[in-house]
Amino acid sequence: MPPSGPDPAAPAADAPHLPVLWEETVAMVDPQPGQTVIDGTFGAGGHARLVAQRLGPEGTLVVVDRDPVALAIAARFATEVPCRVRIVAAPFAEAFEALAAEGFRADGAYFDLGMSSMQIDQAERGFAYTRDAPLDMRMGMGDPGAATDDDVPQISAAEIVATWDVPDLTRALRDYGEERYALKIAKAIVREREKAPIDTTGRLVDVVTGAIPTPARHVGGHPAKRTFQALRIVVNDELGQVDRALPAAWDLLGVGGRLAVISFHSLEDRRVKRFVSSLLRGCVCPPDLPVCVCGQEPQAEVLGKGGVVPAPEEQQQNPRSRSARLRGARRIAVPA
């Protein structure tokens, strides 16, 4: 008889981070007893706990994160779950490339991109525009004194607003924040930093708000939302990490292997979609060639066609989930 009562792997309502598309993601990865799966963004381990249950004592779960707070949770998690756990403390692009270099193979890999609620809730990390704190935003830095293997030099958001010129700031705010007033904000940053350093979230919010025309300040959410998103993406090289990690993760999978990715904004989702589409492509020979000479075969079949979005109940319970989209692919061939 199946066990009754709540799923022991279900996230508690007071968990430090409520996993998004929890069951849908795990269903897409479909972990089986004894398999090897990689969680590229461990966070508070919401998805990982359910995956670990499915893998059982013969299975292996590799968990990756660059954030020391997440890594501390992972260390405890490793003692609590039934499967073997290997913790990799690194940005996920470096982690997957290192696993590939050691010839590691996996049956599944998944990413839940972006920030955790812990990172937003700890004001001193500088991710939140609603609370005044040092302007940091480095995912890999964590609490003072915490050490990780994250040896990628990261500069803080404060260093960016203190040193970048108007064209570079404008480009970042426009390309990564989709900010309409990018040029006005960039000019205000450069002007205001001459008067006093912009080294706190509160001061940046004031500078950004002051640069946006008054009628536009209350349109499209908090006036500093897009600037904060842009800086966070730059500080953590978020898009570069995704571009490198997806092919590296895919290369670790054999036939039948599954990849699942949750993204939270169109810049990420576009990359995931493009990557999955590239796997579906067959012959790329010019149409006038009588026979195929490229030999390229589709490597994948798509999972969750068009992307899976949270059900209305989840969107209501967890507003953070509203922008989430889950995409995936199953490996059907490995190029010779």
Ligand X SMILES: C[S@@+](CC[C@H](N)C(=O)[O-])C[C@H]1O[C@@H](n2cnc3c(N)ncnc32)[C@H](O)[C@@H]1O
In the complex, what is the shortest distance from the CB of residue 127 to ligand X, in angstroms, rounded to a whole number?
A: 10
Question: Whose Cβ is closer to ligand X: residue 50's or residue 158's?
Answer: 50
Residue 31, interface with ligand X (CB under 6 A)? no
In the complex, what is the shortest distance from the CB of residue 67 to ligand X, in angstroms, rounded to a whole number?
A: 3
Question: Whose Cβ is closer to ligand X: residue 112's or residue 179's?
Answer: 112
Could you say which of 54, 66, 174, 258 contacts ligand X (CB under 6 A)?
Answer: 66
Q: Which residues, 6+ apart, have CB-to-CB distance to 58 below 8 Å?
A: 33, 34, 83
Question: Whose Cβ is closer to ligand X: residue 133's or residue 162's?
Answer: 133
Q: Residue written as tokens 């812990």?
A: 118
In contact, 199 and 215? CB cutoff 8 Å: no
Could you say which of 9, 85, 137, 139 contacts ligand X (CB under 6 A)?
Answer: 139
Here the tokens at position 19 are: 């996993």
In the complex, what is the shortest distance from the CB of residue 184 to ligand X, in angstroms, rounded to a whole number?
A: 30
Residue 229 CA: distances (Å) to CA of 56, 233, 334:
38, 6, 37
Going by their DSSP bridges, the two strands 60-65 and 36-39 should be labelled as parallel
- Which residues in 277-296 contact ligand X (CB under 6 A)? none
Rounded to whole angstroms, the Cα distance separating 47 from 51 reads: 6
Question: Whose Cβ is closer to ligand X: residue 71's or residue 212's?
Answer: 71
In the complex, what is the shortest distance from the CB of residue 308 to ligand X, in angstroms, rounded to a whole number?
A: 15
Could you say which of 31, 59, 68, 91 contacts ligand X (CB under 6 A)?
Answer: 91
Residue 179, interface with ligand X (CB under 6 A)? no
Q: Which stretch binds ligand X (CB under 6 A): 61-69, 167-175, 207-215, 249-257?
A: 61-69
In the complex, what is the shortest distance from the CB of residue 159 to ligand X, in angstroms, rounded to a whole number?
A: 19
Stated length of the chain: 336
Question: Whose Cβ is closer to ligand X: residue 65's or residue 107's?
Answer: 65
Binding mask 223-242 for ligand X (x = CB under 6 A): ------------------x-
Residue 208, interface with ligand X (CB under 6 A)? no
Could you say which of 31, 114, 142, 328 contacts ligand X (CB under 6 A)?
Answer: 114
Q: Which candidate, 17, 47, 45, places its Cα nearest to that of 261?
A: 47
In the complex, what is the shortest distance from the CB of residue 44 to ligand X, in angstroms, rounded to a whole number?
A: 4
- Which residues in 295-324 contact ligand X (CB under 6 A)? none
Question: Whose Cβ is closer to ligand X: residue 139's or residue 186's?
Answer: 139
- What angle (nearest 5°) sits at the alpha carbon of residue 15, between those of residues 9 and 17? 105
Binding mask 236-275 for ligand X (x = CB under 6 A): -----x----------------------------------
In the complex, what is the shortest distance from the CB of residue 124 to ligand X, in angstroms, rounded to a whole number?
A: 15
In the complex, what is the shortest distance from the CB of residue 21 to ligand X, in angstroms, rounded to a whole number?
A: 10
Chain residues in the site for ligand X (CB under 6 A): 17, 19, 41, 43-47, 64-67, 70, 91-92, 112, 114, 116, 139, 241
